[in-house]
């Protein structure tokens, strides 16, 4: 492990030299790429420097014990050795986690797609609850959100809603939210008080940069048409809505929420890029799945991942078996405890896989 850490430190220092090279400074794309690469290595290097410092202090204290010391001072040195040993072990564990294979998309912004599943109007209302949950979570984090496409039911629910969340590490926090979310509750329209089960699907896509994916304009059919549904006068009376069809994959994106055709087209292309990038990532995941798939980060969009039970006020994540009895707070965006548990579980599984291989 120490040899690998030295290699990482050398790479980090080498990148630091490249970043002050005039040739690199004049190439913004290359500069951005190198800065991103160095930023990814920095947490490991800082933790390694701390580890070396503690190791040196520990060695000095052990050497000190070999000298002639009075009993009181010897006890102080022994206590210091004990504390430094614990600290060193903790740093070793921290470094092992940092050395786990990183997801290159973790720092990206995300595009979230929520769709009503089984359950009719109640499924649409639940999709609305999930939308509010993620918007409130983003608000708590100080992240920015923007609606891209909205298809509402007109009764407070949604057939489909697509929006972006911009914030540092958004994908690393929200990537485990993809899958089928299930709700168990008594609908307001249910006179007999029977509990109904409905569902909604969530897809969290890393927002693709131009560096990540390029779209050939000849591969995209662009149709414009008049917007439908709620909106201002110009939304419904001009050909501002845009539909993109990606011919090679058959992916169709429609955006009609903006008054400007140009803005709708921009947003539609943003979603198309994210979908194509996600398709590429899913294909990679499927290949890796043949050998090994981590418990949490399976990426299976059809998997039922969580149940929200209103009568008992609980939310249960089926992948890690965690149940929290704070459903109201959870749906108000207080989902950090669950997200951290999912991240920790995934890290533990990866550490286990590395030790077994």
Return the CATH number at 269: 3.30.160.20
Which residues have a Cβ under 8 Å from the Cβ of 227 and sit 6 or more positions away?
235, 236, 238, 240, 241, 256
Alpha-carbon span 252 to 265, nearest angstrom:
13
Same domain? For 143 and 47 the reply is: no
The pLDDT score that the predictor gives to residue 298 is 45
| CATH number of the domain encompassing residue 126 | 3.30.70.1660
Same domain? For 9 and 50 the reply is: yes
Same domain? For 44 and 172 the reply is: no
* pLDDT confidence tier of residue 237, bands split at 50, 70 and 90: low
Alpha-carbon span 180 to 304, nearest angstrom:
4
φ/ψ bin of 170: left (φ > 0), alpha (ψ from -120 to 50), beta (otherwise): alpha
Residue span of the structural domain in which 274 resides: 217-283
> Crossing angle of helices 28-65/2-18, nearest 10°?
140
- Is residue 258 helix, strand or coil? coil
- In contact, 160 and 203? CB cutoff 8 Å: no
Same domain? For 179 and 324 the reply is: yes
Residue 105 within any structural domain of the chain: no
Minimum mean pLDDT among 24-28, 233-237, 329-333: which range?
233-237
Same domain? For 336 and 240 the reply is: no
- Is residue 214 helix, strand or coil? coil
Given 39, 64, 98, the domain boundary residue is: 98
Residues present in the chain in total: 357
Same domain? For 200 and 303 the reply is: yes
The pLDDT score that the predictor gives to residue 59 is 93
User: What sections of the chain are H helices per DSSP?
Assistant: 2-18, 22-25, 28-65, 71-98, 121-141, 170-174, 233-237, 261-289, 327-331, 336-356
| pTM flag (> 0.85) | no
**Tokens 């609908």 — which residue?**
187
Alpha-carbon span 116 to 129, nearest angstrom:
11
Same domain? For 229 and 269 the reply is: yes
Same domain? For 311 and 163 the reply is: yes
Residue 78 within any structural domain of the chain: yes
Query: Could you tell me which residues are beta bridge partners of residue 304?
Result: 180
Given 71, 98, 125, the domain boundary residue is: 98
Q: Report residue 209 as tokens.
A: 């940069």
Same domain? For 153 and 200 the reply is: yes
Same domain? For 252 and 304 the reply is: no
Interval 10-38 mean pLDDT: 90
- Of 270, 250, 251, the residue nearest 262 (C-alpha): 270
CA angle centred on 352, ends 347 and 353, rounded to 5°:
100
- Is residue 208 helix, strand or coil? coil
- With the C-alpha atoms ordered 60, 66, 68, 74, is the resulting torsion angle positive or negative? positive
Interval 155-172 mean pLDDT: 92
Q: What is the number of domains present in the chain?
A: 3
pLDDT digits (tens, 9 = 90+) for 111-128: 999 999 998 899 999 999
CA 198 to chain centre: 25
Dihedral of CA atoms 226, 227, 230, 231 in degrees, nearest 10, equals: -90
Alpha-carbon span 13 to 41, nearest angstrom:
10
Residue 177 within any structural domain of the chain: yes
Query: Could you tell me which residues are beta bridge partners of residue 160?
Result: 115, 151
Residue 103 within any structural domain of the chain: no
Interval 30-38 mean pLDDT: 89
pLDDT at 211 over 70: no
φ/ψ bin of 333: left (φ > 0), alpha (ψ from -120 to 50), beta (otherwise): left
* pLDDT confidence tier of residue 325, bands split at 50, 70 and 90: very high
Alpha-carbon span 178 to 304, nearest angstrom:
9
Alpha-carbon span 97 to 49, nearest angstrom:
16
Same domain? For 192 and 154 the reply is: yes
**Tokens 């990606």 — which residue?**
246
Given 70, 98, 126, the domain boundary residue is: 98
Residue 289 within any structural domain of the chain: no
Same domain? For 24 and 169 the reply is: no
- Is residue 152 helix, strand or coil? strand
Residue 173 within any structural domain of the chain: yes
The pLDDT score that the predictor gives to residue 285 is 64
Q: Percent of the chain beyond pLDDT 70?
A: 89
* pLDDT greater at residue 309 or residue 194: 309
- Of 344, 301, 300, the residue nearest 322 (C-alpha): 344
- Is residue 106 helix, strand or coil? coil
pLDDT digits (tens, 9 = 90+) for 285-320: 665 454 334 445 444 556 799 999 999 999 999 999
């Amino acid at each position: 492990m120490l040899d690998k850490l030295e290699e990482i430190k050398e790479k980090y220092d080498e990148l630091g030299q490249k970043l002050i090279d005039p040739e690199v400074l004049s190439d913004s794309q290359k500069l951005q790429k190198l800065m991103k690469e160095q930023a990814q290595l920095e947490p490991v290097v800082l933790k390694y420097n701390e580890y070396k410092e503690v190791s040196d202090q520990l060695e000095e204290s052990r050497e000190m014990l070999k000298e002639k010391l009075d009993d009181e001072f010897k006890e102080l040195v022994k206590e210091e050795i004990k504390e430094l040993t614990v600290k060193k072990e903790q740093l070793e564990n921290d470094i092992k986690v940092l050395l786990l294979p990183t997801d290159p998309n973790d720092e990206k912004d995300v595009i979230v797609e929520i769709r009503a599943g089984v359950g009719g109007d109640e499924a649409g209302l639940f999709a609305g609850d999930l939308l509010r949950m993620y918007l409130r979570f983003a608000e708590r984090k100080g992240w920015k959100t923007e609606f891209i496409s909205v298809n509402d039911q007109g009764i407070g629910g949604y057939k489909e809603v697509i929006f972006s969340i911009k914030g540092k590490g958004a994908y690393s926090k929200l990537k485990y939210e993809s899958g089928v979310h299930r709700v168990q509750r008594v609908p307001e329209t249910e006179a007999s008080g029977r509990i109904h089960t409905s569902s909604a699907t969530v897809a969290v896509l890393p927002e693709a940069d131009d560096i990540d994916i390029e779209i050939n304009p000849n591969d995209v059919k662009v149709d414009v048409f008049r917007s439908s549904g709620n909106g201002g006068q110009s939304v419904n009376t001009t050909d501002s809505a845009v539909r993109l069809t990606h011919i090679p994959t058959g992916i169709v994106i429609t955006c009609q929420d903006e008054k400007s055709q140009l803005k709708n087209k921009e947003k539609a292309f943003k979603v198309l890029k994210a979908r194509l990038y996600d398709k590429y990532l899913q294909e990679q995941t499927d290949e890796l799945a043949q050998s090994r798939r981590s418990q949490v980060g399976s990426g299976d969009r059809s998997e039922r991942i969580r149940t929200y039970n209103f009568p008992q006020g609980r939310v249960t994540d089926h992948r890690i078996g965690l149940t929290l009895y704070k459903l109201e707070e959870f749906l108000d965006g207080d989902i950090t405890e669950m997200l951290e548990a999912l991240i920790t579980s995934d890290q533990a599984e990866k550490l286990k896989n590395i030790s077994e291989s």
